[in-house]
Structure formats: C-alpha cells, structure tokens
C-alpha cells in the first residue's frame, strides 16, 4: 500500500447503475476454492458474499482467516471476492449498494466512511447483536471505534489500524550512539533532537540518515505532513458549503520541518517510494518513515531493525493512520438469519486477527493486542501505542484512501518538498482546491 491514488468516484444514480449492469462486477477476482455457493459446513449453512480490496501478502493472510472462520463455523460459508484497490473498488461497492446487488459484508477504509454512510449506501451495525458475539465498544481503542460512528450510528467496525511509523536500523543506531539502555531508539522529543540523531546516523552510513520517499506520491506527502500537523495540536475542518478551516501557522511549521529533513544529506530531496524502501533495507540510511504495511519487506531483507510510533516532536502525540473496517453494504430486504451469520463471521475474524498482526497491522480488537502472543510479536508490540494517538483524514465526502484528496495536496505542495517552495503559498493553494470541492454536494448522497 505505497499510496497510489485514483480519481474520485463519479456521481451515481439508480439509472446509471442499472445501465451499468454487469460493469459493477467487472474486474472482480473470486478467490480459488471460495467461489462456490455450496457451503463447506453443510446444507444448512448460509452462504455469505464478502468483498474486499486486499491483495498480495494481505490477501493471502485474509484468505487464511476466512478459511479458518469457515472451518470452525458450520453456520455459514463466506466466499471472498477481491476487487482492484482504490476507485475501482469503491465505485463498484457504491453501484452494488444502489443497484440491489450488494454483498453481505465488505471491507472499506474507515476514512471513506463520510462519503458513503450519509448517502444510504451502508446499513448500520446492530451493537446489541455485535455484543452477542463478543464485539463491544470497550474491545477497541476509542479513536478506532469512534471513527465508525456517523450521526450516532455505527457504520463500520475496524479490523485494524495501519499508521505511519518510524523504522530504524538498530546496528546503525547503536553506532550513532542513538540506542538507549533498553536497546531501543533514545526518546526524541523535539525537531532539533531528531535532526541531530538523523545527522549522527548519516555519519555512520555515509549516505543518508533518513529514508522517506514521496516524489509523485501524494499519499506519502500527506501522511508525514498530517502527522506533524496534528502533533502541533492543529485541526482541519472540511464542511460542505463552508471554506476549509486550516491552521496555516501549524501547516507552515510542518512543511518547513519537512524541508529541513529533505536537505540532500539527512534525506534525499527527490526520493520516490521504491527508492526509499531500497535505501533503508540496504543499510544506506538509519531510519525510515513508512507505513506498517512495509514490515514484511523489512523482515524479508534480513537485517536488524526495530520500529516505533513517529516521535512526538511538537508536543502532542499523533500519528496519521487509516483502518480496514467491516461494513454492511445496503440491502433493502436483508435476510435476518443470514445477516446474523455475518455478525458471527466478522466476530471470528476479529478474534483470529493475531495472524493479521503478523503482517504488520495493529489489530483493532483489544483482546488480541492485550494477549501474550501479541506481546511476543516484534517489532509490532513496540509500535502498537500508535493506535491510541492515530488521526484519520479530516472527514469529507472527497477524503480518504484511494480518493483524489491526497493528489490535490501533492499538486500544491510537491514543489515545497522538492525545490524549497514557499510553504505558505503551498498550503493556500491546497485550501483553494478544497474550497472548490466543498462548494459541491456529495455526489453519492445525491444519488
């Protein structure tokens, strides 16, 4: 999930969905061995259609979780359909809900919820029924649970949190004098101290102290900017019909510090994501700003490293993050017995999510995080605290993973990152672009 962006979903209407017909299912991949409706648990099992956008290593882990849930529960049989990440997925999900062809359950990025729930594309979860299966509010970090609530109703329940974190090479850190007596990176509490540590690591590698790839990647730019922006205690409010409320002073401070990092010595001025990954795993830098999804890459590279939440440099602990969350795509007349089995199925995935943690994600389900098995997962246990301080995209119909929101950010601030452009001008240009969007209605809510 390096942050590829796609155009935002077009305005939808029931007519366009019906005319689109089979296109709503175009590009879908039904996983081998899961495509049949004949349930493995016997003739009385309820077949469940489960859509998600997880491929690669995440897709393999999810397939294992689903197989385990199916094998342990004769009451249902869930078949997975995997669709292309980004706008192709979110467009098909919206069209299926409007056109009466919705799956029984799906995964959505929690940051996309504000664009879907108000338009009636999702059904709310019954919290009492969830509780019957051991899924309750106190089982989740507050910010993770609260993100699923729109207008007082629970529309999503997060399987995980996947924040932006700091990885570091422990051997380089030790040579730079940056490891504490516990063998972990020393506590860093200011931007000046971070620069000092990064320069010390650069002196060891002879190349760079920090890897951070952003070129042509709006998601990567946004993740780091928003982490520091929130550490400064700033909010960003995007309400339709009003101008964007952005704390310009905090935005400029965040962007100016990123410019200090991208000085050609601490970090390269023009690195792309793939180059940053390669640089870090090859020992050419001591630290790496990245997402938890890159954990398997670092582990497979076979060098000594650890990870932690991004240090609190500006006073307020904060991390950018998103979540893969379960949603109920709208069905006009759902089969209540089948829907009950959806709740059972989802609860099984939560309870088995220690395997999901193995892929780097922080489980949303606290009983897993609090388990002895999770405490033994390294470095996952060292960055789990990021779930307590995470921040999702500011809510708006056009924000969230796979939307154009982060691309608009890149259009206005890449010059700030790359060539030392004026941070104030960059953030003002971004605000003007947001104001244009805020003057438009949510195209899904208007369907």
Kindly report, residue by residue over 123-145, the tens digit of the pLDDT: 999 999 999 999 999 999 999 99
Q: Taking 50 as the threshold, does the pLDDT of residue 423 lie above it?
A: yes
Superfamily (CATH) of domain 164-320+404-438: Periplasmic binding protein-like II (3.40.190.10)
Kindly report, residue by residue over 401-414, the tens digit of the pLDDT: 988 999 999 999 99
CA–CA separation, 271 vs 422, rounded Å?
A: 20
CA–CA separation, 374 vs 381, rounded Å?
A: 7
Of 11-25, 263-277, 278-292, 307-321, the range with the lowest mean pLDDT is 11-25
Kindly report, residue by residue over 351-395, the tens digit of the pLDDT: 999 999 999 999 999 999 999 999 999 999 999 999 999 999 999
Kindly report, residue by residue over 78-121, the tens digit of the pLDDT: 999 999 988 889 989 999 988 888 999 999 999 999 989 988 89
Burial class (CB in 10 A: 0-12, 13-18, 19+), 20: middle
Torsion angles phi and psi, residue 32, rounded to 5: -55, 140
Q: Taking 60 as the threshold, does the pLDDT of residue 31 lie above it?
A: no
Q: Taking 50 as the threshold, does the pLDDT of residue 260 lie above it?
A: yes
Strand partners, 390: 319
Domains 14-159+323-391 and 164-320+404-438 share a fold: yes
Cβ neighbours of residue 419 closer than 8 Å, sequence gap 6 or more: 269
Amino acid 445: pLDDT = 63
The share of the chain scoring above pLDDT 90, in percent, equals: 83
Task: Say which residue the tokens 């039904």 belong to.
Answer: 30
Better-predicted residue by pLDDT, 69 or 8: 69
Domain ranges of the chain: 14-159+323-391, 164-320+404-438
Residue ranges of the alpha helices (H) in 43-140? 56-72, 87-98, 127-132
Superfamily (CATH) of domain 14-159+323-391: Periplasmic binding protein-like II (3.40.190.10)
Q: Taking 70 as the threshold, does the pLDDT of residue 35 lie above it?
A: no
């Amino acid at each position: 999930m390096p942050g590829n962006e796609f155009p935002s979903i077009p305005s939808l209407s029931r007519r366009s969905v019906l005319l689109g017909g089979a296109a709503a299912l175009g590009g879908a991949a039904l996983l081998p061995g899961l495509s049949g409706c004949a349930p493995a648990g016997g003739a009385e099992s309820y077949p469940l259609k489960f859509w998600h956008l997880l491929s690669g290593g995440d897709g393999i882990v999810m397939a294992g979780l689903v197989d385990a849930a199916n094998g342990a529960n004769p009451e249902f049989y869930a078949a997975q359909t995997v669709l292309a990440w980004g706008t192709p997925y979110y467009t098909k999900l919206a069209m299926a809900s409007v056109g009466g062809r919705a799956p029984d359950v799906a995964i959505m990025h929690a940051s996309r919820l504000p664009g879907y729930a108000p338009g009636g594309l999702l059904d709310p979860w019954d919290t009492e029924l969830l509780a019957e299966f051991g899924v309750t509010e106190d089982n989740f970090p507050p910010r993770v649970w609260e993100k699923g609530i729109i207008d007082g109703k629970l529309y999503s329940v997060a399987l995980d949190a996947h924040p932006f974190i700091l990885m570091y090479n422990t051997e380089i850190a030790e040579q730079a004098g940056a490891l504490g007596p516990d063998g972990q990176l020393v506590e860093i509490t200011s931007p000046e101290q971070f620069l000092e540590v990064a320069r010390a690591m650069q002196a060891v590698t002879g190349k760079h102290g920090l890897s951070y790839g952003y070129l042509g990647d709006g998601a990567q730019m946004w993740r780091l900017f928003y982490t520091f922006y929130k550490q400064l205690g700033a909010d960003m409010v995007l309400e339709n019909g009003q101008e964007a409320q952005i704390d310009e002073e905090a935005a400029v401070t965040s962007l100016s510090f990123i410019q200090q990092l991208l000085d050609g010595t601490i970090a390269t001025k023009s690195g792309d994501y793939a180059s940053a990954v390669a640089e870090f795993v090859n020992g050419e830098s001591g630290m790496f700003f990245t997402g938890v999804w890159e954990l398997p890459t670092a582990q497979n590279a076979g060098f000594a490293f650890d990870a932690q939440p991004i240090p609190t440099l500006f006073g307020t602990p904060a991390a950018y993050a998103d979540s893969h969350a379960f949603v109920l795509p709208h069905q006009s007349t759902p089969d209540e017995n089948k829907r009950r089995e959806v709740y059972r199925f989802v609860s099984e995935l939560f309870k088995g999510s220690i395997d999901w943690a193995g892929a780097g994600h922080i489980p949303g389900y606290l009983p897993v995080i609090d388990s002895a098995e999770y405490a033994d997962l390294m470095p996952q246990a060292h960055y789990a605290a990021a779930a307590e301080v995470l921040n999702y995209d500011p809510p708006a119909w056009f924000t969230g993973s796979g939307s154009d929101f982060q691309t608009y950010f890149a259009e206005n601030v890449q010059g700030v990152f790359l060539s030392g452009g004026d941070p104030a001008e960059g953030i003002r240009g971004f605000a003007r672009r947001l104001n244009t969007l805020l003057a438009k209605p949510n195209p899904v809510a208007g369907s």
